[in-house]
């Protein structure tokens, strides 16, 4: 079976920094934080009252009022991000009969689920007939497939916070190996509801810096105290290089490697040695045919939790050895918060843009050094850099580790 090179030709984003790739990218490079007090519901009774919410979004800009009313917020985000991904690249010349839709989510229709449960507790007859189809996780992929008439493989990976990274990895292989003519791949999450905030807070996983929300997400610092929950969606349009060149589509980057491992260690905590994460990065490099020394940039999982950040630092040092000193490692979660199942796609898109634009985004709130986190985290200010190749890391509860490798497109 012949294998194809896979190009990223479309990027669409909806997240706490804004709607649209250029808006998000400009605010990311400026070091803007998308974290603030929770507005979507009354959080006064919760120990954590901050989140990274999408505030500049109207679903009726993308869907009819009737459609929007029948779909969960995570589907609203998915459709908008998919529309934005194809806006510039277009779909002319793409075989939609063979095109795949691969969209992951960790939680799916959380808001719809909560509403349905509350109604059922008082009067089951009030539960919406759209409760089930609106809340199931594969409805993001299903809705986007219907929107664009993509009749190839339809997949909805669920691997917690690695879901959309797995989605992109699986879509990459479908296109590479000829099982799909193209793919819309990514993830969507709309998980900012009281029970989820309370649950993560009671696990001591969330930052409690309620009085300084923009400083709450502070990956790799000595005084980090947890992640900040966020929401949003990112979609990538993937197609073969041959297709992209024939269509005259802009190629942001070439997707070239996918590594996936399991820690087999703990239900929530990462393996403190970082070996599972290191193996995922090395697997992505092997598939890409890249050497560790050819990677310039890593978009880290970098959640701002004490154990995860230290373990990821060890993993990078294990995988890259002496070259670790030369890597520019960003955690863009310092600005977007943690988008759970949508985070991997968002950070892969940031890697593609860093390669395309020659700028590495910063890790903000870098003002308290941690001796266990001793890499170059691109502190506080974006850095112009000619990025040849990059890796995006995504790790998840249950011990799932995913690394995606991207490189600058070269016709040769």
Give me the CATH number covering residue 52: 3.40.47.10
Q: The pTM is what?
A: 0.97
Tell me which of 228, 247, 266 is where a domain ends: 247
Query: In the chain, which residues have pLDDT < 50?
Result: none
Give me the pLDDT at residue 1, please. Answer: 62
| Per-residue model confidence (pLDDT) at position 379 | 98
Domain, as residue range, for 65: 6-247
What is the spatial distance between Cα 177 and Cα 8, in angstroms, rounded to a whole number? 16
Q: Which of 76, 191, 256, 301 is catalytic?
A: 301
Q: Work out whether the CA dihedral 268, 261, 156, 290 comes out positive or negative.
A: positive
Per residue in 77-98, pLDDT (tens digit) is 999 999 999 998 999 999 999 9
Map residue 281 onto helix, strand or coil: helix
29 belongs to a structural domain: yes
Whether 40 and 146 map to the same domain: the answer is yes
Whether residue 338 lies in the annotated active site: yes
What is the per-residue pLDDT across 94-133, written as a single tens digit (0 to 9) for each? 999 999 999 999 999 998 888 877 777 788 888 888 878 8
Judge whether 301 counts as a catalytic residue: yes
Active-site pick, 161, 256, 351, 373? 161
Distance from C-alpha of 186 to C-alpha of 182, rounded to nearest angstrom: 13
- Concerning whether 161 is annotated as a catalytic residue, the answer is yes
Indicate whether 17 and 150 sit together in one domain.
yes
What span, in angstroms and rounded, lies between the C-alpha atoms of 177 and 60?
37
Is residue 412, in this structure, part of any structural domain at all?
no
Catalytic residue among 76, 256, 338, 351: 338
What is the DSSP annotation of 230-253? B-EEEEEEEEEHHHHHHHT----E
297-355 pLDDT, tens digit each: 999 999 999 999 999 999 999 999 999 999 999 999 999 999 999 999 999 999 999 99
Instruction: Quote the tokens at residue 17.
Output: 């920094």
């Amino acid at each position: 079976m012949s294998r194809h090179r896979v190009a990223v030709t479309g990027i669409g984003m909806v997240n706490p920094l804004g709607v649209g790739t250029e808006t998000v990218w400009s605010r990311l490079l400026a070091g803007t934080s998308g974290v603030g007090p929770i507005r979507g519901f009354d959080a006064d009774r919760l120990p954590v009252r901050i989140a990274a919410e999408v505030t500049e979004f109207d679903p009726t800009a993308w869907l009819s009022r009737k459609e929007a009313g029948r779909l969960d917020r995570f589907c609203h985000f998915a459709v908008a991000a998919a529309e934005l991904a194809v806006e510039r690249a277009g779909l002319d010349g793409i075989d939609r009969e063979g095109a795949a839709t691969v969209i992951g989510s960790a939680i799916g229709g959380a808001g719809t689920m909560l509403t349905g449960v509350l109604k059922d507790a008082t009067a089951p007859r009030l539960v919406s007939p759209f409760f089930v189809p609106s809340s199931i996780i594969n409805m993001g992929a299903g809705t986007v497939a219907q929107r664009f008439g993509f009749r190839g493989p339809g997949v909805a990976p669920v691997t917690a916070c690695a879901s959309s990274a797995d989605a992109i990895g699986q879509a990459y292989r479908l296109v590479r190996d000829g099982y799909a003519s193209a793919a819309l791949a990514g993830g969507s999450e709309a998980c900012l509801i009281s029970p989820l905030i309370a649950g993560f807070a009671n696990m001591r996983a969330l930052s409690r810096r309620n009085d300084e929300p923009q400083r709450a997400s502070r990956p790799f610092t000595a005084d980090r105290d947890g992640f900040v929950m966020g929401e949003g969606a990112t979609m990538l349009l993937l197609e073969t290089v041959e297709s992209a060149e024939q269509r005259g589509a802009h190629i942001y980057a070439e997707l070239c490697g996918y590594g996936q491992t399991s820690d087999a260690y703990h239900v929530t905590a990462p393996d403190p040695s970082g070996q599972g994460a290191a193996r995922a990065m090395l697997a992505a490099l092997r598939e890409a045919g890249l050497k560790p020394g050819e990677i310039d940039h890593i978009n880290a999982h970098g959640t701002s939790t004490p154990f995860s950040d230290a373990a990821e630092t060890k993993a990078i040092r294990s995988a890259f050895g002496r070259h670790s000193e030369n890597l520019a490692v960003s955690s863009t979660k310092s600005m977007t918060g943690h988008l759970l199942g949508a985070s991997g796609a968002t950070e892969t898109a940031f890697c593609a843009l860093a390669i395309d634009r020659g700028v590495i985004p910063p890790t903000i709130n870098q003002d308290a050094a941690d001796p266990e986190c001793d890499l170059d985290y691109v502190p506080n200010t974006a850095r112009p850099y000619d990025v040849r190749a990059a890796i995006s890391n995504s790790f998840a509860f249950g011990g799932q580790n995913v690394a995606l490798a991207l490189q600058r497109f070269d016709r040769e």
